Every structure is written in C-alpha cells, then in structure tokens.
Amino acid sequence: MHNKKIAVICASPRKFNPGMFSVDLAFHFLLKRHKIEAEVNYFILAHPSDDSFQSEFPFKYELAQENLEKIHNSDAIVFWGDFLHSQMYYHGFPKRLIKGGYALDKNEADKIIKECLFLSKMPDAMLSKCLLFGSTQLLDPNNALADDSYLKLSNRLIRGAKRVWVRDIYTALKVSRLRKASVNSTHGIDASFFLTDSDIVIKGGGALQLQKRVGLFFDRTKVSPVLPLRFSKSLCDQLELEAEWLPWFQPITRKYSRGLKKHFPNIGSNAIDYQPSVLELLSSLSKYSLIITDTYHLCLNAWCAGVPAICITNGNEMSPGTLQDKKKEVFYFTNEAQDFLVDIETLNVLYKNIFPSPFNNRRAHDKKQLLIRLEECATNSNIANAVIKNIEEHKVVVENDFVSSLNELIC
C-alpha cells in the first residue's frame, strides 16, 4: 500500500506575517493532533521577500506551478485559508507573479492562477478529492456576479469539490446556494483557530505566566497613529495596567515608534525593537490579560489563546481589498463579541481635539462611558469566556467534520 499524499495549497505571504503563518502551521499540527499519517506537501505561488522564518517551520513551501503533476496525483488536495478563490485574488495576484519574475506577462500569470488555484486542467471527476477550507469571498465587489471567466472557474471548483468550508457566514450563504447544501455544512472557521497553545509553546520554556499587561499593536487601519495610542493609554489608565508593544509585524513603523515614546514612555526602546521568531511570538499571546489591535489575525490568535482582543476597525469602509475591515466586524458579530469593537469614527470624535469648547463636556462624558464599557468587557471573565465558548464550540464541530472528510480521502 503506497504512502498517501496530501497537497496543501496555501496563500503566498509577501514578508514576515505571523497571521498567515499561523494558518499554515495549523494544518501541520491539526494532522499531528489527529494522528493522520501521510506525505504532506505545502505549495504557494510566490515566495516571500525574506524566508528566513522557514528555518523554524516543520515543513517547506514548494511552488505550485512547478509541481502541478504532484498536486494532481495527490490523494487529497486541500486549499487552505485566505482569499484563494476570491475574485480579488483571481484578478490581483497576476501582478505579483509578473513583478516577482514568475510570469513573463499577464497571459502566463493568468494561466498559473487558473491551473494552480482553480485546477483548470484537472478533469471534473477528479475535483471530488479536493477540500476547500477557510477561504472567503466576503470582500469581493458586486461585479464578481458578472465576471464570466472568474465565475466559470470558481463555480466549477466549488461545486465539484468533495467539501467546502468558508470562514464567514456570508460566503457560506453563497457557497451553500452553489452546492445546494445547508449553510451549516459550508460555514467553517478561520484555519488559524486549529493552532493551539499546546502546539506552539516554545520547547524548554515551560508554561508562560499570565502578565497583568496589555499587548498593543497597530498598523492596519488608515488612521493617524495618535488616535489608537491615545485611546489605548486612557484605557490602560482606566484598567490600571501597564502596556507592552507586541511586534506582530517587524520592525515597528516609524509613525508608531514615535507615538509610543510619547504616550507610553515606560515602554523602552529595546522592547519596541525586539523581533521574536514566529513561534515565539505566537506562543507569547497567552501571557497577556488583554490585547488592543487593529489587525485581523492578531485578534483571532488572541481569542484562540483565550485572551480577549479589543479590535479597532473602520465600520464605514466598503472598498475591496484583503485588508478591508469588514472581515473583522463579521467575525466579531458572528461570535457575539461586538462589544469589543471600537470604530475609528468613535475615536475621531472622542480623541481628536477638533471640536469647540461647548462640545467638550459631552465628549468627556462619552469617552468615560466608552472606557467603562470596555473595562467591563476586559475584566468580566464571563463576557470574554462566552465569546471563547462560542468560538470553541463551532471550531470543534468544524474540525471533526474536516478531519472526517480528509480521512475518507486518504484512508
């Protein structure tokens, strides 16, 4: 009996990105946790600008376009996470392939996308060995409905795959209509939730002790750095907790390093410049009592580690793009965590000194009420635990469903 083979097609990180890495690491540890034995190969379409982080990974990435035969001949083909089958990826990623030297022109880049992400050369009957997990079409523009070339490829793969689980409820509605299936059978979870603390605790380091500290990281919203830092300082004061910069992306951008020195002088330059490894960074999240950020996967990894995350978001943003804030809001509302959301417009009103004095009393009152509400969220363990319970219960159901379907292909 030959060794069963699994091809895992992942998103292509541009640079150091612990959120994207947590997704791919989750697959490795998921198989390990369920004692699934197979030859597993991980594929991307473009290498990151710096792949030094790979030295600590338990696997290496290969280029999908150079290994199509290996992918086709695998017993299971798993598309894992991100925006792989979104219209944005379909039309946007060819530019990166050309810029990176993977394709000479748009025609060649389009061919790579179609063959690697949509398996256009694979017979329809063989699509039944495909599992699609954790992707989303949430942020696609409405004109995707009239994009015949994209819809033909996307719908063929979604309908032909053995199973499809997407990470948000709105994409699940679209997929369930295509597959004539129940929404419950297509509503998955972000794959990063399959990475647990026990998977990533640094060997020899022992269990991390909870610190009465707040982890801060900002770099994803189009807003002056003054606003989230002023807000974080006032909330930390309200909670009587010290703050610490959490270097999710490295190194820290200049606009935030300047603001940190002003608003959080107790955070030393060494702490700001510290650049931990991927696993060290991910395993450190559980030591905090609270995290404040504007970054999607930091929020998710924090909740996964059992740490409440206050998320700063732009509720009015509707432009297409992978960094668009709607994915944060949908995740929070789906898991009844909306009280942990703070909208940018709220910060603009409460923390910008742009209003005349007659408004100052009202602004001070509203600011106080916001801080009191968030203090309750951060300190009342019943509130955070209810969110964590929602996530965990859904994750367990989806995990068992996915592992069962994978085993059917390789056992």
Q: CA 230 to CA 352: how far, in whole Å?
A: 9
Structural domain span for residue 309? 204-379
Instruction: Find the farthest-apart pair of alpha carbons in the chain and give their distance in angstroms, rounded.
Output: 80
> What number of other Cβ atoms are within 10 A of residue 42's Cβ?
20
Helices (H), 118-253: 148-160, 169-179, 183-186, 197-200, 226-239
Residues 154 and 258 in one domain: no
Are 188 and 163 in the same domain? yes
In a domain, 350, yes or no: yes
Residue 342 reports pLDDT greater than 50: yes
In tens, the pLDDT along 227-282 reads 999 999 999 999 999 999 999 998 888 888 888 988 998 887 767 778 888 999 99
> CA–CA separation, 246 vs 223, rounded Å?
19
- Whether 147 and 228 map to the same domain: the answer is no
What is the C-alpha separation between 112 and 98, in angstroms, rounded? 11
pLDDT tens digits, residue range 132-141? 999 999 988 7
Give how many domains the chain has, as a whole number: 2
Whether residues 155 and 232 share a domain: the answer is no
Query: Do 251 and 219 share a structural domain?
Result: yes
User: What CATH number is associated with residue 293?
Assistant: 3.40.50
User: Who wins on pLDDT, 200 or 337?
Assistant: 337
- Domain-located, residue 385: no
Burial of 403 from C-beta contacts in 10 A (0-12 / 13-18 / 19+): middle
Q: What is the pTM of this model?
A: 0.93
How far, in Å, CA of 161 to CA of 330, rounded?
Answer: 25
For the chain, the average pLDDT equals 91
Looking at the structure, tell me whether residues 180 and 208 fall in a common domain. no
CB-based contact 144:87 (threshold 8 Å): yes
Q: Is residue 82 located within the same domain as residue 226?
A: no
**Residue 384 covered by a domain:** no
Determine contact, residues 10/44, Cβ cutoff 8 Å: yes
